[in-house]
Chain A
Amino acid sequence: MSARGGGSAASGVAQPQIIGVDAAPSMLDPAKNVFTGFLEWFGELTLFAWRVAQAALTPPYEFGELIRQLDEVGSKSLPLVALAGAAIGVVLSLESRQSLTRFGAKSMLPAALVYSVVHEIGPIITALVVSGRVGAGIGAELASMKVTEQIDAIEVSAVNPYRLLAATRVAACTLMLPLLTLAADFCGLLMGWVALALVEPLSFHQFITSGFKGSGFSDFLPPTFKTAVFGLIIGLVSCFQGMRTRGGAAGVGRAATSSVVLSSLFVILADVVLVKFIIIFFP
């Protein structure tokens, strides 16, 4: 306030002091900073994605590293994804049975289970589990490489780190997510049937026939392959957060956390958009 008063005196014109005028911009500043920060982050992410795409599409290709990452993302996530899918299948089966019985629609249970698991629960649970396991792993590994100058050493060795580190991980996540989703779907349906069969006699064949009755490929393929987009998001965001890390061990921790949080958040947001697209293009 004193500075403003000084300014007015210097101009020789007595300005009326308006209480609260100073406070308004400072209240908006944090929001403005967050918004600017987000735009900067998003711009850098877009540039990063462009560099990764360029590196991925031009030779030489890092097939050895890609296979290592396919194993890391795919086979090593399989037990966790299968377990999560199975647990969801059991819970969904028990919960749905109770609700559907109440409305006299118990015969719809296999179809409801198949529809929920294949359309939404399988893909999103797989993506969130992979985001937690793989996203944190990629974020922490690359961040640790960054703070110990290993990424600089790769660059000094005239090897493109975007090609060796980022493109392989992003490709592995993109390729593996649909396959992991199939595994989660299968385990969910299998354990959903087991939970149902324990309460009332129903063969697996009957369960599957009744569940998939009236379903076509358009019910099955788009929801499964939309997870490739989830994989792309998880890979890109985690690699980006890892490779831009600064500041020692604390930075590594922050990178791991932000990789999981941001990739999960963007997976959920992408799901909203993709579900709408699927409804429009595969009615």
Chain B
Amino acid sequence: MAITKQIGIQSVADEERTVPAIAVENVHKSFGRQCVLDGVSLAVSRGETLAVLGRSGTGKSVLLRLIVGLEVPDSGFVRMHGQDIAGLSLDRLGEIRNKVGFLFQHAALYDSLTVEQNVAFPLQHHASGMSAAAQRDRVCRLLAEVGMGGHQGKMPSDISGGMQKRVGLARALALEPDILLLDEPTAGLDPISSSEIDDLVLKLQSEHHMASIVVTHDLHSAKTIADRLILLDKGKVVIEGSFKELQSSDDAFVMRFLKHSQESVCPERQG
């Protein structure tokens, strides 16, 4: 019995090591005649952070929406923990989505709910076994974790963009996901708020050990929080590797992207 259990645990551990948490395989997506993604493939394992870089309109956000099932690929596969999400029933897709935390570009907080109610929303719908007091405790803990303790009663319209992103992060973490998707977490923020968000993502990463994909324009942020980067252009992956590998690339587009990104980063961020 003990041996069977041990083998079971080992096989789960092996599966975690061999099957990536997120796998995108040769995905194509077009809107009308406009091809947004043209054969994109990537894989992210648990505990790893991948940054997706690229110019505006190269399909970075569409890639995240495909991963979470908000869009359907024209061809190719999206797998979460080895499970192809295409054609899944709403219930099964819901089970998978419960393991995914998603931070939208503009936080997408529910504007009719308070900060506390926003973070409690996933718990109210999916943690029915949890008492109201336990839910409140968890919300308080999450808000404290993202530095938003004491703002529970405020409405989203009464807090700044950076604070909204923090609340969005707390909401994304409510169900203890093992996959975290961040769409432009530092976009539109001042350099100090951007650094704070980067630090927060790093802290959450080390504590929760999730597989993360960060879509960003911000090269400094990508360099800080990601283990690996990919650069998209015209719907294709131009390069994939560490920041150093990107820097040493002799591809004209990569060089141009890095040059302009570094020029646009303000001195405080360059540190």
Digitize B101-130: 1 where CB-to-A-CB distance is under 8 Å, 0 elsewhere: 010111011110000000001100110000
| Residues from chain B with Cβ under 8 Å of A144 in the complex | 111
What is the chain B residue whose CB lies nearest that of A162? Answer: B90
Is there an interface contact between B70 and A158, defined as CB atoms closer than 8 Å?
no
Interface, chain B (partner A; CB < 8 A): 65, 68, 70, 90, 93-95, 97-98, 100, 102, 104-106, 108-111, 121-122, 125-126
Contact stretch, chosen from A118-126, A148-156, A184-192, A266-274: A148-156
Complex: how many Å from CA A111 to CA B171?
60
Is there an interface contact between A158 and B104, defined as CB atoms closer than 8 Å?
no
Is there an interface contact between B102 and A148, defined as CB atoms closer than 8 Å?
no
Complex: how many Å from CA A159 to CA B93?
11
Interface, chain A (partner B; CB < 8 A): 144-145, 148-150, 152-160
| Residues from chain A with Cβ under 8 Å of B93 in the complex | 158
| Residues from chain A with Cβ under 8 Å of B109 in the complex | 150, 153
Complex: how many Å from CA A158 to CA B172?
12
Q: Taking A156-B70, A157-B125, A158-B126 as contacts, is the C-beta distance between A148 and B111 under 8 angstroms?
A: yes
Is there an interface contact between B125 and A158, defined as CB atoms closer than 8 Å?
yes
What is the chain B residue whose CB lies nearest that of A51? Answer: B90
Q: State the majority secondary structure of interface residues on B.
A: mixed
Q: Taking A149-B106, A152-B70, A153-B108 as contacts, is the C-beta distance between A158 and B95 under 8 angstroms?
A: yes
Is there an interface contact between A158 and B102, defined as CB atoms closer than 8 Å?
no
CB distance from B148 to the nearest CB of A (A): 17
What is the chain B residue whose CB lies nearest that of A54? Answer: B90
| Residues from chain B with Cβ under 8 Å of A152 in the complex | 65, 70, 104, 108
Is there an interface contact between B110 and A150, defined as CB atoms closer than 8 Å?
yes
User: Which of A145, A150, A156, A159 interacts with B102 by CB under 8 Å?
Assistant: A156
- Interface CB pairs A-B, < 8 A, 15: A144-B111, A145-B111, A148-B111, A149-B104, A149-B108, A152-B65, A152-B70, A153-B102, A155-B97, A157-B122, A157-B126, A158-B98, A158-B122, A158-B126, A160-B90
Is there an interface contact between B125 and A155, defined as CB atoms closer than 8 Å?
no
Q: How many A-B residue pairs have CB under 8 A?
A: 47
| Residues from chain B with Cβ under 8 Å of A158 in the complex | 93-95, 97-98, 122, 125-126
Complex: how many Å from CA A157 to CA B108?
12
Complex: how many Å from CA A145 to CA B110?
8
CB distance from B63 to the nearest CB of A (A): 15
Complex: how many Å from CA A145 to CA B112?
10
- The residue among A144, A145, A148 with the most chain B CB atoms within 10 A of its own CB is A148
What is the chain B residue whose CB lies nearest that of A155? Answer: B70
Is there an interface contact between B95 and A156, defined as CB atoms closer than 8 Å?
no
Known contacts A154-B110, A159-B125; 14 additional CB pairs below 8 A are A145-B111, A149-B104, A150-B108, A150-B110, A152-B65, A152-B108, A155-B70, A155-B97, A156-B68, A156-B70, A157-B97, A158-B94, A158-B98, A158-B126
Is there an interface contact between A153 and B68, defined as CB atoms closer than 8 Å?
no
Is there an interface contact between A157 and B121, defined as CB atoms closer than 8 Å?
yes
Complex: how many Å from CA A126 to CA B93?
41
CB distance from B177 to the nearest CB of A (A): 11
Complex: how many Å from CA A153 to CA B113?
13
What is the chain A residue whose CB lies nearest that of B70? Answer: A152
Q: Taking A158-B95, A158-B126 as contacts, is the C-beta distance between A148 and B100 under 8 angstroms?
A: no
Complex: how many Å from CA A157 to CA B109?
12
Complex: how many Å from CA A159 to CA B95?
10
What is the chain B residue whose CB lies nearest that of A149? Answer: B108
CB distance from A157 to the nearest CB of B (A): 5
CB distance from A266 to the nearest CB of B (A): 27
Complex: how many Å from CA A159 to CA B94?
7
Complex: how many Å from CA A154 to CA B70?
11
| Residues from chain A with Cβ under 8 Å of B105 in the complex | 149
CB distance from A140 to the nearest CB of B (A): 12
| Residues from chain B with Cβ under 8 Å of A145 in the complex | 110-111
